[in-house]
Amino acid sequence: MEIVCEWCENQAKNGKNTVYWELPDGTRAIQIIDTPAVVCDECNMVYQTDETTKSIEDQLFLIDTKKIGKSIMYEELMAQPRLLKRNYFDFTS
């Protein structure tokens, strides 16, 4: 499947990067390492898709964030046990 950069509309590729995310309760931010990203060599943009952003936000809302340190790998974050089955406050789906 061809990936198109949302910024310059040239061909892009899958990659990973480190992002910083504020926790839902606003108490602090964490570093998330090896987060899936879209990488564009043409305009040098590196960004997360809407789907990745939603999955991170949902996961942070549904887990006990007190158990997360200052930094966590993306796969480790997504593997954290959820306190709820889904985000019941998300009315977009």
pLDDT at residue number 91 = 59
What secondary structure, in 3-state letters, does 19-52 show? Answer: EEEECCCCCCEEEEEEEEEEECCCCCCEECCHHH
CA distance 23 to 45: 24
pLDDT at residue number 1 = 76
pLDDT at residue number 88 = 60
* Residue numbers in the chain where pLDDT is lower than 70: 85-93
This prediction has a pTM of 0.87
CA distance 4 to 17: 18
pLDDT at residue number 93 = 60
SS3 content of the chain, % helix, strand, coil (to 5): 25, 30, 45
pLDDT at residue number 66 = 93
